[in-house]
Structure 1
C-alpha cells in the first residue's frame, strides 16, 4: 500500500464507516424490535403466533416491490437526500406501531389489519436503504477493501442486537401516559432514526469529487482507481440494466441471499420467544438475546478479513452457511437451554459472516446503473424469505406446539444456500482485472 492510498482509505474509512454503522444500527433496531414487542403485544392485541409471523414477514413483501425503484432513485438523486428520506419516513411509521389500538378504534379496522398495514408501509419506507448503502460504498472504496468495509458496516446488525436487546427488554417494563411497555419500545426506538435521517443531510457526501474533506490529489487517486476498475470489468463484460436484472447469476445470488435471510429472520423474530421459554424475565431475555450476536460480530470481522486476504468468496460463504445450518438445525433437536444458546451462538457466527463476503460477488460483474439495480434486485428477491421464514416459524409453532420443525426447515434453507453459492459461475479474472490482487499487494 503506497502513501496516498493509505491516506485516502484511512480518511474515507474514518469519515463514512462509523456514521453508516450508526444509520444501519437504528435501521436494524426498528426492523426487528417487533420480536421483543411481541412478548407483550400479542396478548394485548390478541395475535396468534401465525398472525404475528405473517405481520412480521409482510414487511419484506413491500420491501421487495419498492427495492429496485428506490435504488434507481438513489442513483439519480444522490445518496444523501434519498437515504435521509428513507430514514425519516421509516422512523415515523415505526413509532406508529405504538398506536395500533388507537388507529384500530379510529378506522374500524381490526388490530391485525392495522399491524399488517403498518408492516407493509414500513417495508416500503425502508426499501432501498441497505442496497443503497452497498452501492454507495462501491463509489468510495476500491474492490479489494469491500469485504472488510462491508463487514465493518454490517457490524451494526450484531451491535444493534447486543445493545438493543437489553434496552428492548428493559423498555418492556416501562409504563406511563396510558401506554404499555411494548408501545414505549416502538416510540423510543424510532426517535434515533428520525435524528439520524436529519444528520444524513448534513454529513454525507455523494461522490468523491464533492468531498471537501479530501485533498485534490486524494480525490484524483480515488477517482482514477475507481475508473480503472470499472474499465477493466467492462473489458470482460458490460451488462445493460435489463441484462443485469435478468442475468442468471443475479438470480442465483438472489437464491443464496434468500436462503440466508430465511434462516436469519426466521430465528431473529422468534429468538426472544425461544429464550423467554427458558423461564427467564423480560430483562434477562434481552441480555441473553444479545449473546449470539456478540459471537456473530466477531465471526463477521474475522471471516471477512480472511476472505479479503485470500480473495476467495464462494467457499467462505458456503462454509458460513453450513455453520448456520448446523447450529440452527441441532438447536431444534435438544432441550437444554445452555446447549440451545451455544448452538444459536455458533449459528450466528455463520449468519453474520455471510453478507460481507457475499456482496463482493455481484459487485465483481456489475457497474454503474446496472450495479445499483442488480444489487437491489438481489436484495429484494433475497429478502422475500424475510416474509417466508417468520411466517413458516409462526405457522409451524401453532401447528406443532414447538419450534423444532421450523428450525429444521430454516437449517435446510441454509444448506440449499451453500449449494447454490458453490454453483455460482463468476470468472476469477474479474477480480484480477479489476486490480484487486495487484492493489492488495
Structure 2
C-alpha cells in the first residue's frame, strides 16, 4: 500500500510539473500558429485592393494553406516520432515564421496562392505533433485539461492578436515604403521564428530526458504511459499502416473535418463581418470587438475541459460544444445590429474552440506508438482540409443562393454533420477509448 501511495504521489507530482512547464509554452506556440494562419482575415480588404485579388481568389488563397499542410502532415509527424519533439517542433516554428513574414511579398493572385501554400508546408505537422507529444507526457485521464491549456492558444491568438493586428493595420501603413498589411505579416511572422529558436532550448522530448523530474517521477510517469500504450495496442491499430486504414480513425477524420469547416469559416470572415456592422474600417476598434468571442472561449476552456476530465464525459461534452457552435453560426446571420451578432459569435466561438481539445482525447486514447504518429497526423491532415473547403464553400453558397446567409448556414450545417458523427461513432472505438481512460484511472497515481 505504501509503495502504491508513493507511486501515486510521484505520478501526481510529475504530471503537475510537466503541465506547468510544458503546457503554457505549447499554448504560446499554438497562439502564434493561429495568428499566422488566420491574420489574412484582417488584411482581406487592404490586400485585395493593393494586390488586385478578387473574392473568389481570396477564398482559394485563404484555403490553399491547408493543401500544403495536408500533404506533409503524416511525414512530419513520423519524423517527430523519430527525431524528437524538441528538434522537430522548433524546426516547424522557425520555418513557418519565415514563410509567414514572406507573405509581405504578395503582389498578385499567383504570389498569394504560392506563399499561402508554402506557409502550409512549413507549418505541416505542428498541431498533430503537439498532440502526439502530449501522449508522451500525460496519461489519458489528464489529457483533456492539458490539451485545454494548449488550446488556450487559439482564443489567446485572437484576444491579443486581433487588437495587435488591428493596431498594426492602423498605424504602420507607409513606414519605410511598406503597406500596413506588409508590416503585419513581417512582425507577426518573425515573432514565431524567435519563439521557435527558444523552443529548441526549452522543450524536452521525453520524460526520461527531463532534468526537472526526479528519478521516481520519471519512473511513475513512464510506467503509467507504458501501461496505457499496452492497452491501446491490444484494442486498436498497432502500426502506422493499420492506423491509416482503420475505420474508426476514418470516423475521427470526418468529425475533425466538420469541426474545421466551422472553425475557419468564422475565423476568416469574423473581422470583415464586424467591420460591416460597425461601419468602421478594420483597425484597432474592430480588433477589440473581434476579441470578445475569443475571450469568452478562453474562460469556457478552463472549466469545461477540467470538468470533462473529472467526469470522463469527453465525448458527450464534445457533442454539446459542436452543437452550440453550429447554432451560434446560424444565429449570427439573423441580426443586423452588432450586439446580437456578437452574442451569436460568442456562442459559436465557445463551441468550436472547446470542442477541439475534447475531441482529441478520443483518438489519443485509441492510438499509440507509430499508429498514433500516423493516425493523429492523418486526422489532422485530412480534417484540416475543412479549412480549405470552408471559405470556398461559403463563397459558393453565397453565389448560388445570392445571399450571404447561405454561406454561413452551410458552415453551420457542417457542424450539425459533425454532431451526428459523434453521436453515431463506432461502438468499438468508443469502448476502446472508455476502456483506456478507465485503465488510466485504475493506474496508481
Alignment TM-score, normalising by the size of structure 1: 0.94
**How do 1:30-429 and structure 2 match up within 5 A?**
30-101=36-107, 111-173=108-170, 174-175=172-173, 176-278=175-277, 279-281=279-281, 282-397=283-398, 402-425=403-426, 426-428=429-431
Q: Contact 1:324–1:351 at 8 Å: present in 2 too?
A: yes
C-alpha displacement at 1:433, in angstroms?
Answer: 4.6
CA contact (8 A) 1:265 1:389 kept: yes
The residue that corresponds to 1:106 in the other structure is: none
Q: Deviations over 1:326-368 (max 9, x none)?
A: 1101211222221111111011111011111101111122110
Secondary structure of the residue aligned to 1:213 is: coil
The C-alpha deviation readout for 1:245-301, integer Å capped at 9, x for no partner, is 011111111111111110110111011111110112421110111111111122222
Are the counterparts in 1 of residues 78 and 370 from structure 2 also a CA contact under 8 Å?
A: yes
1:365 aligned counterpart, secondary structure: coil
Asked whether the 8 Å contact 1:301–1:353 carries over to 2, the reply is no
User: How far apart, in 1, do the equivalents of 2:356 and 2:11 lie?
Assistant: 26
SS in structure 2 at match of 1:359: helix
Please tell me whether the aligned partners of residues 332 and 407 of structure 1 are also in contact (alpha carbons under 8 angstroms): yes
How far residue 39 of structure 1 moved from its aligned partner, in angstroms, is 2.8
Q: CA shift at 1:27, angstroms?
A: 0.9
Shift of residue 233, structure 1, vs aligned partner? 2.3
Post-superposition shift, 1:319? Answer: 1.1
Asked if the contact 1:172–1:185 (Cα under 8 Å) also holds between the matched residues in 2, the reply is yes
Residue 108 of structure 1 is matched in structure 2 by none
Local SS of the residue matching 2:395 = helix
Distance 1:285 1:232, change over 3 A: same
**Residues 148 and 308 in structure 1, CA contact (< 8 A), matched pair in contact too:** yes
- 2:18/2:137 contact within 8 Å kept: yes
Q: How far apart are 1:183 and its partner, in Å?
A: 0.8
Contact preservation (8 Å) 2:259, 2:352? yes
Give, in whole Å, the separation in 2 of the partners of 1:11 and 1:136: 16
CA deviation after TM superposition for structure 1 residue 238, in Å: 4.4
- Shift of the 19–344 alpha-carbon distance from structure 1 to 2, 3 Å rule, reads same
Deviations 1:2-31 (A, max 9, x none): 422221111111111111111111111101
CA deviations on 1:50-77 (whole Å, 9 max, x unpaired) are: 1111100000011111101111111111
Structure 2: how far apart are the matches of 1:407 and 1:433? 38
Unmatched segments (≥5 aa) in structure 1 = 102-110
Query: 1:27 & 1:433 partners in 2: Cα distance?
Result: 31
In structure 2, what is the equivalent of residue 9 of structure 1?
15
1:107 aligned residue? none
Cα 1:31–1:312 change in 2 (3 A) is: same
Q: Which runs of 5+ in 2 are unaligned?
A: none
Distance in 1, Cα, partners of 2:322 & 2:388: 19
Distance in 1 between residues matched to 2:405 and 2:425, nearest whole Å: 31
Contact 2:147–2:357 at 8 Å: present in 1 too?
A: yes
Distance verdict in 2 for CA 1:35–1:238, change over 3 Å: closer
How far, CA to CA, are the matches of 2:46 and 2:395 in structure 1? 16
Structure 2 SS opposite 1:339: helix
Name the CA distance, whole Å, in 1 between partners of 2:370 and 2:233: 13
What does the per-residue CA deviation read over 1:96-115, in whole Å, with 9 as the maximum and x for residues that have no partner?
A: 111223xxxxxxxxx10000
Cα RMSD after superposing both structures:
1.6
Q: How far, CA to CA, are the matches of 1:287 and 1:348 in structure 2?
A: 15
Paired with 1:439 and 1:164, the residues of 2 have a C-alpha distance of 41
- Contact preservation (8 Å) 2:93, 2:195: yes
